[in-house]
Amino acid sequence: MNFQHTEDAALDGFRRALRAALVAQFGADAASLDDDTKLFTGGLIDSLSVMDLVTFVERELGKRVPPAAITLENFDSIAQIVAFARTLGGTRQPT
């Protein structure tokens, strides 16, 4: 299996886990939540919940999110979070 395929599969798993967490932990409506749903600017997540979301992302990726990277550009939708995860090197590899 090539690296790109492995990374894409890992990021798909991350996307699914992120969507599930947004529904279970943050109260998002699963039926209306898609990859482009605006999480913060759409009012789904408030500023007090941002650190919970960042902590989830760090735990899933196995990587630290630099404070300067916690921006709307990186965290306002599932698609943006997944794209940001790719810049961090994707998800941690299974051991």
Q: What is the pLDDT of residues 3-33, one digit of tens each?
A: 455 668 889 999 999 999 999 999 999 999 9
Separation CA 93–CA 6 (nearest Å): 9
Per-residue pLDDT for 48 more than 50? Answer: yes
Residue 92 located in a structural domain: no
Average pLDDT over residues 65-93: 90
**CATH number of 38's domain:** 1.10.1200.10
pLDDT at 19: 97
Most confident of 1-10, 39-48, 74-83, 84-93: 74-83
Residue 37 lies in a domain: yes
Q: What contacts 24+ positions apart, CB below 8 Å, involve 79-82? A: 79/35, 79/36, 81/18, 81/57, 82/11, 82/14, 82/15, 82/18, 82/35
Predicted pLDDT at 3 = 46
Give a yes or no: residue 36 inside a domain. yes
Percentage of the chain modeled with pLDDT above 90: 78
* Domain assignment present for 24: yes
Question: Into how many domains does the chain fold?
Answer: 1
More confident residue, 63 or 6: 63
The reply to whether 94 falls in a domain is no
Domain that includes residue 81, residue range: 3-87
